[in-house]
Amino acid sequence: MESLVKPFITLLAIVNPIGVIPFFIHFTRNFAPKQQRETARIAAITVFIVISTSAIAGLKILEIFGISLASFKVGGGLLLLLSAVQMLHAEPAESRPQDVEDGTNRALSGASIAVVPLTIPLLTGPATISTVVIYAGRTQHVWELGILVGYGLVLGIATWLALSAATRIGKAMGQTGINVMTRLMGMILAAIAVEVMSDGLIKLFPILGGTPG
């Protein structure tokens, strides 16, 4: 697998726990401190489960549906690019207006919002899943797959730390600081998205890479 750091940077840019802090604060504003801590804990566990499951079983799911990895790279790269555009507008990579509204309704009704929409799709949506599957397809050894699962654990811990300190971080960074961080991660993600798409397109259409079909 290519540089072991690049997959982590990509996933960190997409998950972006800091960028979700305003939504966490908004969704849990009527929660007791104990409920807020529990919500952060469940969200962190779900982030790990989504990433690790995608790394271990993602390729097998593609085989079941008869989808080539090259095609998935193009589709996944497009999702990454769309996510990057959203982030450049200072929106979480996987957010949609209706998700925010649904989350508010769940919070007001007393239901848990840790899994939906906080984790899925705000933290780990289609772009995250497709990215993990793409990098899993590049692994050549079991230990490399284990590293991807380990990244899921690290990102889960990062999510738990960020959401647990959401109130303090929000006050320290302010909305402007969070927006700057989100836009910066969006620029990094856009560059990576172009690389992923070009790699898939060259495999689908070798002539694009100067190789006769």
Residue 47: pLDDT over 60: yes
pLDDT value of position 40: 94
Residue pLDDT, tens place only, 58-89:
989 988 999 888 888 888 888 888 878 887 88
pLDDT averaged over every residue in the chain? 84
pTM: 0.75
- Whether the ω angle into residue 92 lies within 30 degrees of 0, i.e. cis, is no
Residue pair 130/76 in contact by the 8 Å Cβ criterion: yes
pLDDT on residue 108 = 44
The helix-helix angle for 69-88 and 5-15 (nearest 10°) equals 50
What is residue 110's predicted lDDT score, i.e. its pLDDT? Answer: 37
Residue 95: predicted pLDDT: 56
Long-range contacts of 166-175 (CB under 8 A, 24+ apart): 166/21, 166/24, 166/25, 166/36, 166/40, 167/25, 169/18, 169/21, 170/21, 170/22, 170/25, 173/18, 175/22
Average pLDDT over residues 16-43: 87
